[in-house]
Every structure is written in structure tokens, then in C-alpha cells.
Chains A and B, each alone.
Chain A
Amino acid sequence: MSDNTAIKLVNISKSFGSVKANYKINLEVRKGEILSLLGENGSGKTTLMNMISGIYFPDEGSIYVDGQEVCIRSPRDAFDLGIGMIHQHFKLVDVLTAAQNIVLGLKGKAVLDEKSIENKIADLCAKYGFELEPHKKIYDMSVSEKQTVEIVKMLYRGANILILDEPTAVLTPQEADRLFEVLRNMRNDGKAIIIITHKLNEVLSVSDRVSILRKGENVGTIDTANATEMTLTEMMVGKKVELDIARPEPKGDIKRVEVKNLTCLNKYGYKALDDVSFDVWGGEILGIAGVAGSGQKELLEAIAGLQPVQEGSIVYFDPEKDNQPSQLVGKTPREIKELGVHLSFVPEDRLGMGLVGSMGMSDNMMLRSYRQGKSAFTDRRSPKALAEDIKERLEVVTPGISTPVRKLSGGNVQKVLVGREIAAAPTVLMTAYAVRGLDINTSYTIYHLLNEQKEKGVAVVFVGEDLDVLLGLADRILVLCDGQVTGIVDARNTTKEAIGLMMTKQNNEITEKGGEAEHE
């Protein structure tokens, strides 16, 4: 092993239940280099880094820091080895100042010597080109300032190996450029830096080498100088896998929803959706692809009335009123739901949206129906029948319909969630990550359900993570990148690489392409 190696991972594996998040990964980071860790969502990037920073413990394999085999059991151990990780969600205390956050948890004199702490921070800032006000409270700071505090915090602790988890996801392009400048300064100072990203332009512009993970395995490490967007995309998405999902021909000829020039802001005030236009037809499955956080959630929520719309229109063609157009923007989520537009969103924790964990299946069915009827008492009988029906048809494995749903396994929870929305006989069914974390068989049950709906003439919007599934299931695929539509393609005549490229496209290329599309 050369002296130049800062950290080396040998045959690291980690499983969560039956899911192999990482499998026999080998990775080496040298001093004075920036390594990009590239991969699709769920390819195991963050899991791998969490093992280096002491949050998870690997099932097998070994980690070497400076040539010594080490055992990292906690974030504390990682600090002691000079490993610092900057998480996507900052770990900062809001009411404390930047300086207080930086020295938090460190050993030293009981009484804080603010002068010398500030001097040390100022030295670090000058050395690497940070801009930081040590007295500013965290709650007064912008996202980029908070990130700076996190990085300085790690450097203050003497970190030599820095891991940044999608550092630019919440930054403006200018802020990202400044961050890269700082990262280059740190690299030149001999630090080893790993950035997790799925933005190809960042990989090409800032890193020295790039390692690509796919489905938990390291598929290769190449010098950035020899890489192009094309080769990286190919390595990232891999060969197309035939999934053999049934795909009936769409028979839709009725436009169901028309979205025009939709713009929404996210909670930081940046554009989460930027001038998005598309149609959804009855009897088709419209797949939506994009790296995480490209605006998928905001798009569905805007249609469901949960997300304030900045600009643009969403027109719904109501089949009960002879396909008369009606504007959805400005309607309450309840009104939209009553029109037949249903959303089943499966968040990462599955129970976060739509189901109440401590209630049973039939009570969860009631969440959708308790407002109906004129009696002062709720109708308990029909939700119960519905729950029994869903349990039967979708083969939900549960001791009984009154067992709290949080006790069900993830797949069964998802069946309940999707089943309930389908049972309401929607005309538009939107699902996000409906098969997240499900095993193959359960996933197929869900695909089958969606196809059933499609054949009934329902307009299905399917936000997915796995490109193979999107290619096998959807009729058309809409690709989002940074809140913009980078393409709407026929799923039958496209390739994984083409979609992969669209998912990671740069802003300037998009505007050019967008301009062309308008001319056509």
C-alpha cells in the first residue's frame, strides 16, 4: 500500500434485511485528491459513507486509514481518525453561534476561550477561502453558510478525510462554484475529499477520480480526465435489464390532465419546478424519471393541491362532465380529490404520508371516507368491508384488519396505501415510489394493479427510481432534471442511456434543447 493512500476499503458489505445495500466494495482514496462517488438513487453511496463515518457498522470487510486497519464504531471514533462527514441534513444547533457549533463536544478547558477559538476559525477560513461570521446564529444563516459551518467544524477537529453527501443539492450554482473552489484549496493542502453526487458536470469539473456504484457494487474507478458524460452514464445505469413487466397498449385518446408552464418554489425559495408542461392521457402510464429531488414530489403535490403554485395552470378534464376542462390551481386538496385525482405517495419512511401507523387497516380506509354521509355517526361498516376486500385481493399479510398498520411489513403497508387509493375509483392515479423497498413479487403485484387501472382508462402517473422498471412499465417517460422537463420520450423506443443523460443534463443544454422543441 502506498503512503499516499488516506483511506482504503476492502470487501465491504452491508445488508439491511434481505437488501444488499453494499456488496464487496473496494475503494481507495488518496491524499490530496477529490474522489467522486457516483451512482443512481439507492446504489449504496450514502450507506457506504455512513460506514466510514461511524453511523453504520459493516457486516464484513475491513477499513484501513493511513495503512492501519481500523474499527469505526461511532462518529466519535471517526473523528479520532480524522474522518469528517457533512450530511445532507446539517447537524447544527440552531440557537448557538457558528463558533459554538464548531467547538461543540470537543475536549478542552472548562471555560470557553472565545478569543482563541475565533482566531483558530479565522485562520482556517483564511487558509481555505471560507467566508464565515463566527458570531452569527445558525438560524440566521443561509443553507450555504450552514454548510460552511459544517465544513469548518470538521476541519477544526483536524479532519483529513472529508466526506460530503450531495453538497450542491441545496446550493445555487454560484454557491456551488465557491464550494468547489474551497474543496480544491483543501485538496491542494493534502486532504482527501469524497463527494457523493449524481450530477455528472460536478464530477467532471471538480474531481480527480471517480468511482461508480451500481446496485451496491463498485463497477469501476476511472480518472476523471479519461471520463466523458457518456461513459459515466453507461457505467452508472448499466446494461438494460429485461424485467418482463406486462405492458398493455395504451388505449387513451382522451386528455385527462394538462399541465402548462408550471413553476413552484421549494422551502428554500428556489425553483423546485421551472416551467413544466406536459399532458397526461387516460389509459396510459406516464413514468416520471429523475434523480432524487428534481421536483418529482413538488410536481405531484402541485397537481394534488398540496403545493402552492407560483405560475402556470393545471387543467383537469372531468369525465363526469363531458370532459369539460376545469382549473385545478386554487382548488383545495379535498376538492381535487373529489374530482377523482388521487395521490399515493410513499415517502422514505412509508408511513409518513397517508397512513396512520397506530390505526388498523379499516380505520385507515376511513381516513378517506369519514366525511361522507349526513349522519352524525361515521359509517364503520363500508371501510371494514373495503379493508377486507383489499386484504383479500392484494394478499396483504396481516393478523387482522384491526392490527395497527405500523406492525405490518413495508410491502404490506404499501399495498394498503396503494389499494386504498385505487379503491376510490380514481380517474387520475399518481403514485410516487410505489415499489420503494419492496421485494420482486410484491413489486409485480403493484405493477399489475397499476396496469389494471390503466386498462380501465385511468390516467396513471408513476414516479419511479428504477429506470428498468420505468422502461418496462410506462408508456411514455417524462424526465425531470433540476425542476425542468428535459424530455418526454416514448418508453418503447428509448434506451436507458438516453434517459440517464437527460436526468443529468446541464442547464445550458436544457435551454438550448427547450428552445429547439418550441421551434418544432
Chain B
Amino acid sequence: MDYIISAITTIFSTSFVTMAITKGISLLYGALGEMMTEKAGNMNLGIPGIMYMGAVGGIFGAYMYENNWSSSFSPFLAILVALAFCLLFSMLGGLIYSFLTITLKANQNVTGLALTTFGTGFANFLGGSLAKLSGNDGLAVVVRKTGKAFKTTLPFYEPMANSNSGFLKTVGEVLFSYGFLTYVCIALAIGLAFVFNRTRWGLNLRAVGENPGAADAAGVNVNAYKYIATMAGSAVAGIGGMYFVMERISGVWQNNALGDTGWLAVALVIFALWRPGRAIWGSLLFGGLCVLGTCMNVPDQTKEIVRMLPYIMTVLVLVVTSLRKRREDQPPQSLGLSYFREER
């Protein structure tokens, strides 16, 4: 009972809400990236690894920029450099996956899992090396300035936070206390929902994931769509990794910083039934459940139980959707299968 009361009081605190949102947005990035690749029929289980690569890419870029041009630090340039390296690293991961599964037709699950192992190791190696170089006892890489640049809020947040009205203060804190990437992510989700359902590009993409044979016969370049969707999806997921270290932990890299964020993102795709719109509120729910344990004043064992909740929710959604058997709620039909034209 105490726990429930503690949970309820936690949920209504602004610090909980902001933490839930930042956690949720990093999940949402990962989930949107995974969704793009899965719509093209590629089950990319390498997303957790790619998020690590994106995260360490951002840290690497920021570290290089801060330490080589620290005399004239420009927040804008810092963001640009971090973003560029983040995209470079995560898309490299996407390219490995695409080349193996699309061109060489390797098994997608095996490739994805290998990529996750590789990406995590790569990130820890590079991050750990940077930490050694930066001298912080080899434990962490700190790029506070870039982290701060990423957390630059919208201009009207300052006056709201400083106002005397408690209401304005709370609204400002809950809705506007985040960096630009937070809002970009929401916009991206809405944009993707539009692209998937209303555009030619989305139609062709869905056809590739559902029935590549039909798409091929209709004149869609199946491999091009798979490559582009997987690479773009990796880029988005990589940004999610960087968002986590820049926005959520303010520009600090420690090894294994992302924890199980990547796997939660994969679970979120299933929870959202491959729909970007649903993923928005799903990400808030998942984010909330993730940080609930941390925010609550409860023993560690209990926190672990609370951390299980997102996965339990995903299992429940799977059970319910398989009982309802609506075709629209099913994963893309040829998800996980390589496409050989000869097997018509």
C-alpha cells in the first residue's frame, strides 16, 4: 500500500514527468528508427547497438570540438559536429546491417544481434578510450558545454520558469524545459505517420515490407527502398542514443550509459503496433514506467520489479493483438525475410 501511495505521489511530481519525457523521447527515437526499417521488412535487432554507436559518435564529435576549438566555443557548431559524427557512426552501423541482410541476404536476426554486440562494444571501447584521454580517472567523458547547447530551451521557457505564477512554472517545466531534439522527435513521429499512410513513398515502402514480390512486380526497386529505409532508420535511432547522453544525462558518457534503452525501443515498436502515432504516447508510458522505480523511494528489489513493467505491457499487447487477429495490427508480413527475386 505504501508503495502505491509513493508511486502516486511520484507520478504527480514535475521532476518525474520531465524525467519520464526525456527517457520516453530517447525510446521514441529508437522506436521510430526501428519502425522505418521494419516497414521495409528488415527486422533490425541491431538497433540497441546502433543507438550506442550514435551516442558515442555524438560524444566523440563533441569531445573533439570542445578540446580543439575551445577558445571560441559556438553552441551551434558544437551541435552540428556532434550530430554529424552521431549520424556517421549510426549510419555506418546501418550500412553494415543493410549490406549483410539485403545484399548478402544474411539472416536478419543473427546479423542484428551481432550488430548489437558489436555496437555496444565499439561504443564502450571508444568511450572508454576517450575517458582515459580526458583524464577523469578513465571513468567518464564529459562534454558539458555541448550537452548544455543541446539542452538550449525554447525562448519563452525562461520567462515562464521565472514567473511568479506556480501554474505557469509547472506548465513551463513539464512542456518547454527540453532541448530542440525533443520537439523534433514528436514532429518526426507525426511526419512519419503521414509519410507511411498518405504518400507514394510510404505506400511503396509498406508494400516492400509486406510483399516484396508484389512490390517488385509493380516496379518498385525493392533493394533501394530497403537500403534507404534501413539507413535512415539507423540514423534516427542513433540520434536517440545521442539524445540520451546529451539531453538526459547532460553530456556525460560512461560505459554502458544507455542500459537497456535500445531493447525497450524495440519493444515499443511492437507495443505501438508499427504505428508512429501510437508510439508517441507509448513512449511516454514506457518512459514513465522506466523512471518510476528510480524516482520512488523504495528498496532496490522493488525498483527492479517496476522496471519489468514495460516488457510486461508489451507481452500483454502481443497477447491481445494475437487474440483480435486484425490484419492491420500485425507486423509487416515479410518482416525478417530476405528477398530473392528468383523465388517468385
Taking Cβ atoms with an 8 Å cutoff, the residues of A that contact B are 55, 75-76, 79, 87, 90-96, 100-101, 103-112, 137, 139, 153
Contacts and interface: CB of A to CB of B under 8 A. Distances in A.
14 contacts: A75-B217, A87-B217, A90-B214, A91-B211, A93-B211, A96-B206, A96-B207, A96-B210, A104-B203, A104-B204, A104-B215, A104-B218, A105-B204, A111-B199
B198 interface: yes
Interface centre among A79, A87, A94, A108 (most CB of B within 10 A): A94
A105 B199 contact: no
Contact of B327 (A55, A90, A104, A139): A139
Interface in B307-344: 327-328, 330, 333, 344
Nearest to B209: A93
Contacts of B198: 111-112
Contacts of A96: 203, 206-207, 210
Contacts of B33: none
Contact of A110 (B201, B214, B218, B219): B201
Can you list the 7 inter-chain pairs with the closest CB atoms, starting with the nearest?
Answer: A105-B218, A105-B219, A91-B217, A91-B214, A105-B220, A104-B218, A76-B219
Nearest to A76: B219
Nearest to A80: B219
B215 A92 contact: no
Given A95-B327, A95-B328, A95-B333, A104 B201 contact: no
B210 A79 contact: no
Contacts of B201: 110
Contact of A104 (B213, B214, B328, B333): B214
B216 interface: yes
A105 B214 CA distance: 10
B219 A79 contact: yes
Interface string B210-236: 110111111110000000000000000
Interface of B is mostly: helix
B199 A153 contact: no
Given A112-B199, A137-B327, A139-B327, A75 B219 contact: yes
A110 B194 CA distance: 11
Interface centre among B213, B217, B333 (most CB of A within 10 A): B217
Contacts of A112: 198-200, 203
B250 to A, nearest CB: 39
A486 B45 CA distance: 56
A464 B198 CA distance: 51
A93 B214 contact: yes
A496 B199 CA distance: 57
B344 A93 contact: no
B207 A93 contact: yes
Nearest to A107: B200
Nearest to A139: B327
Contact of A92 (B199, B211, B216, B344): B211
A190 B220 CA distance: 28
Interface centre among B203, B207, B218, B328 (most CB of A within 10 A): B218
Nearest to A87: B217
A104 B220 contact: yes
Interface of A is mostly: loop
A104 B216 CA distance: 10
Contacts of B213: 91
Contacts of B211: 91-94
Contact of B210 (A94, A106, A153): A94
A110 B207 contact: no
Contacts of A110: 199-201
A94 B214 CA distance: 10
Interface string B185-204: 00000000000001111011
A87 B211 CA distance: 15
B203 A55 contact: no
A92 B327 contact: no
A107 B216 CA distance: 14
A100 B205 CA distance: 12
Contact of A95 (B210, B217, B220): B210
B161 to A, nearest CB: 40
B277 to A, nearest CB: 17
Given A91-B214, A104-B204, A112-B200, A55 B220 contact: no
B200 A106 contact: yes
Contacts of B215: 93, 104-105
Interface in B253-307: none
Contacts of A107: 200
Nearest to A95: B327
A55 B218 CA distance: 12
Interface string B152-192: 00000000000000000000000000000000000000000
A103 B219 contact: no
A101 B198 CA distance: 13
B199 A94 contact: no
Contacts of A95: 206, 210, 327-328, 330, 333
Contacts of B333: 94-95
B214 to A, nearest CB: 4
A90 to B, nearest CB: 8
B290 to A, nearest CB: 32
A201 B197 CA distance: 45
Contacts of B344: 55
A79 B216 CA distance: 12
Given A93-B206, A93-B207, A75 B200 contact: no
Contacts of B210: 93-96
A285 to B, nearest CB: 35
Given A75-B219, A79-B219, A94 B327 contact: yes
Contacts of A90: 214
A236 B199 CA distance: 49
Contacts of B218: 75, 91, 101, 104-106, 153
Contacts of A94: 210-211, 327, 333
B214 A108 contact: no
Contacts of A100: 203
Given A101-B214, A105-B207, 6 more contacts: A94-B211, A95-B327, A95-B328, A96-B207, A104-B218, A105-B215
Nearest to B222: A105
A94 B199 CA distance: 18
B107 to A, nearest CB: 14
A87 B213 CA distance: 12
A232 to B, nearest CB: 30
A102 B114 CA distance: 39
A479 to B, nearest CB: 31
A94 B215 CA distance: 12
A109 B198 CA distance: 11
Contacts of B330: 95
A79 B219 CA distance: 8
Contacts of A103: 200, 203
Nearest to A140: B327
A79 B218 CA distance: 9
A87 B217 CA distance: 10
B200 A109 contact: yes
Contacts of B206: 93, 95-96
A417 to B, nearest CB: 21
B298 to A, nearest CB: 44
A111 B191 CA distance: 12
A104 to B, nearest CB: 4
A61 B50 CA distance: 51
